[in-house]
Amino acid sequence: MTTEKTYDFAHAEKLALTVLDTARAHNTPLVPEAYRVWFEYAAGTQPSLKERIDAIVETAQRVSPPELRRVHEEFFEAEMPDSGMDRLTNRLNAELEDVIQLLQSNLSSQSDFMGTLGEVDQQLSVETQAKDLKTLVTLLLAKNRQFYENSREFHDHLQNADDEIKQIRRELEELRQDAFVDHLTQIPNRRHLDKILREEMDRARQSKKPLCLAIADVDHFKKFNDTWGHHIGDVVLKQTARILSRNVKGRDTAGRFGGEEFMIILPETSLRNARNLCDQMRKTLEKLSFVIKSSNQHIKDVTASFGVTVMRPDDNEASLIERADKHLYKAKENGRNRIVASD
């Protein structure tokens, strides 16, 4: 999940100027979508976005406007699941348009001031009478006051825009959490798992390193709902999610695949190590027990079955998931509370 990175004003201003230079170097019109891509690229907040841009530059030397639009669609538009996201995106685009106009206005003001200095310098290089010198000084003072007022207004407006953009980013992050986090278990949901799996498969193809996928299913889950009610079934799911998520680290991801099924994505992990990790999870689940306070009933015997596989060169997302799913059902057929791992 992405997390909001905050910037102090000076850093944000420096990044904004870097965006202008980069857009000019690539000859890409600075529309809001382009500004967002170049800003994230300059800030380095999304390594995968930076890798994608660098790959384009390495091949074609520059990023064309159509390519920039494709990058924006891939990294940002896929994260817009509802009208709330669209509303915030429109607000963000409006603020970015204001920032672009402010930057262009400030650059124009700087250019005008520098032009005046150049004219005065030319006139001072020739013999100047006292009255002419006074006129030049008056002109410089007036231009300096104007430049100072323009700069102060620019900084005030940019600070206000910075505050508004931070607020929009916070609201976007809240919506993104709603879109990508399972409400019951508070771990990644199917939408987020699909996104991560797609990215990790691309990365595995490039790095030639293994990528393992596991699907786990809580055994006899219907029994918990039928015997003690759906509330206890929810507790079992939440406890299972807690155990799985605590046993992954780094770029590993455990999320809720749907119902009582969970997915574990394990980049740069051999099939043997993936199996060992899932066995550790399985054994921890075996020890899970809790008491229903209202009835003082002791809940235990929570187990899960796992299907584990490793990505093949010709795999796509569907084939990799299907193979892990087949191994899971084989584990179920073989008696549950066990692991079937195979390539």
Give catalytic residues, as residue numbers: 260
Nearest to 281 by CA among 296, 294, 263, 293: 263
Angle at 193 between CA 188 and CA 195, to 5 degrees: 120
Q: Distance between CA atoms of 191 and 203, rounded to whole angstroms? A: 19
Residue 40, Cβ density class (10 Å: 0-12 exposed, 13-18 middle, ≥19 buried)? buried
3-state class of 209 per DSSP?
coil
Instruction: Give residue 60's identity as a one-letter amino acid code.
Output: A
Angle at 193 between CA 273 and CA 215, to 5 degrees: 45
Q: Distance between CA atoms of 97 and 32, rounded to whole angstroms? A: 6
Residue 240, Cβ density class (10 Å: 0-12 exposed, 13-18 middle, ≥19 buried)? buried
Residue 137, Cβ density class (10 Å: 0-12 exposed, 13-18 middle, ≥19 buried)? exposed
